[in-house]
Amino acid sequence: MARNIISFLSTYSLTVVYIEDTALQRNVKTLKELSQLQGVIIGYCIAQNIDIHTITPGEWRKQLGFKQGSGVKRQDLKKQCFRWVKENLELEKPEDEVEAIGIGAAVLKMFQNVN
């Protein structure tokens, strides 16, 4: 997977990359794997002089107006993301793509709010 990520990143002339920060997982193995992949992306960006930033799941979801907090389950957050992408961008994509689109949309919104 690390090779695929590097191959994907190297096909574009990137100047900045935003990735979702790792969040505490019940499964330690999953947290370890996600952290290692995050390290691959960060290392690649540093080596290529690409500005790299992380954004927490709560931060990007807040930017898009998702209901979150106690009592809101992970599955509900995913449904909100599917709905947001479909309603705002008229796209229907798989789960991981929808969340990546959500992260990108949230980052763009953050930059728009700065000006």
Q: Tell me: the pLDDT tens digits for 18-51?
A: 999 988 767 899 889 999 999 999 999 999 999 9
Give the CB-side neighbour count of residue 84, counting CA atoms within 13 A. 25
Task: For the chain, give the percent of residues with pLDDT over 90.
Answer: 74
Domain locations in the chain?
Answer: 1-55, 57-115
Residue 83, pLDDT score: 94
CA–CA separation, 107 and 59 (whole Å)? 9
CA–CA separation, 27 and 25 (whole Å)? 5
Segments in 48-94 forming alpha helices (H): 57-63, 74-89
Sort strands 51-55 and 16-20 into parallel, antiparallel or unpaired: parallel
Task: Provide the token pair at 10.
Answer: 């190297």
113: pLDDT strictly greater than 90: no
Backbone phi, psi, residue 92, to 5°: -125, 110
**Predicted structure pTM score:** 0.84
SS3 15: coil
Interacting residues of 27 by C-beta distance below 8 A, sequence separation 6+ = none
Backbone phi, psi, residue 81, to 5°: -70, -45
Residues 94-101: what's their mean pLDDT? 88
Residues 61-80: what's their mean pLDDT? 92
